[in-house]
Amino acid sequence: MTPMLLNSPSEPDASQFPIGTNVFGVQWGQGKHDEDDKPCGGTFAQYVAVPTSRLSIKPDGLSHEAAAASSLVGTTALRLHSNVLMLRRVIKFLSLVGRHP
Amino acid sequence: MIAAQLAVQAGANVYTTASPRNTEFVQSLGKDITIINYREEKWWDMNLTDFDAVIDTTGEEKAWENSSNVLKPDGSFVTIASFDVGFDPNGHPPRKYAAFYCLCNKPSAQDTIAKGLEECTLKIPLVEPAYPFTEQGAKDMLTAQAKGASL
């Protein structure tokens, strides 16, 4: 998701996100973020509430479309490599991206 | 596709499935990437062996089963879209890691990806238009999605 921050009423650490900041991030569809108990509820909406601890400031050189399209898949890929596969030891790598009929 | 790019950057010998319409883009990510046209070839039937890692990004049917001969004994299998392999990374010794993986996101990871895209060290194919957030826009998006993968 890639919104523009409209309001940050209650977050104690929200000062780095002035109102109107272009931000993006990953928002879960159901349940909760892992670190706190704040509920969240999907992205298919005009307005969503997200903890600022989960937001990144969108670089000017990156479009909202690219930020939205890459945030979930990109962070998944990155963390797969850095936390799961430890890629420096991987020599042969097969990526499956399509379904077979 | 970002996973494949990160693997290339880490120096891995990368193989990936792709449909013919995406071949050109995928090859642009690395000239040494081996592309398997999944409409015509079965990756598990090509004598691929000794792989360190297989990553399933779409929940491909029997991906876990089919990867058994492709992976080396301690190779890793990760899927983000199927529960066939289970949830315990250590549940299939001697596989180093074999499980469903669920992202635990962090802004630092988001920042890294955004920087890579901004500096063009990472690429994503934005081949479809953005649709307006209206009822008609949603219908158009779903219609387009039925023809192929959308981000």
Mean pLDDT score across all residues of chain A: 76
Domain limits, chain B: 2-111, 112-151
Tell me the chain A residues in contact with residue B105 when contact means C-beta distances shorter than 8 Å: 25-26, 54, 72, 75, 79
pTM (predicted TM-score): 0.83
Tell me the chain A residues in contact with residue B15 when contact means C-beta distances shorter than 8 Å: 92-95
Question: Are B52 and A84 an interchain contact pair (Cβ–Cβ within 8 Å)?
Answer: no
| CB proximity B112 to A under 8 Å | yes
How many CB atoms sit inside 10 A of residue A53's CB? 16
Query: What pLDDT does A4 receive?
Result: 59
Low-confidence stretches of chain B (pLDDT beneath 50): 150-151
ipTM, two decimals:
0.86
CA-to-CA distance for B76 and A7, rounded, in angstroms?
A: 44
Query: What pLDDT does A36 receive?
Result: 55
Contact B6, A87 (CB under 8 A): yes
- Rounded to an integer, the average pLDDT of A49-59 is 85
Tell me the chain B residues in contact with residue A53 when contact means C-beta distances shorter than 8 Å: 107
Query: What pLDDT does B151 receive?
Result: 45
The answer, yes or no, to whether residue A10 has pLDDT greater than 70, is: no
CB within 8 Å of A66: residues ≥ 6 apart: B117, B124, B126
Of B113, B90, B82, the closest CA to residue B5 belongs to B113
Q: CA B55: distance to chain centroid?
A: 6
The answer, yes or no, to whether residue A53 has pLDDT greater than 90, is: no
Query: What pLDDT does B143 receive?
Result: 86
Question: Are A77 and B60 an interchain contact pair (Cβ–Cβ within 8 Å)?
Answer: no
Which tops the pLDDT comparison, A24 or A44?
A24
- Rounded to an integer, the average pLDDT of A24-51 is 68
| CB proximity B65 to A under 8 Å | no
Contact B73, B67 (CB under 8 A): no
Q: Which fold has domain B2-111?
A: Rossmann fold (3.40.50)
Question: Are B53 and A88 an interchain contact pair (Cβ–Cβ within 8 Å)?
Answer: no
- Rounded to an integer, the average pLDDT of A25-54 is 69
The answer, yes or no, to whether residue A93 has pLDDT greater than 80, is: yes
Of A89, A83, A81, A80, the closest CA to residue B75 belongs to A89
Q: What angle do CA B32, B33, B37 make, to 5 degrees?
A: 135
Query: What pLDDT does A71 receive?
Result: 87
Cross-chain CB nearest to B7 (options A62, A75, A90)? A90
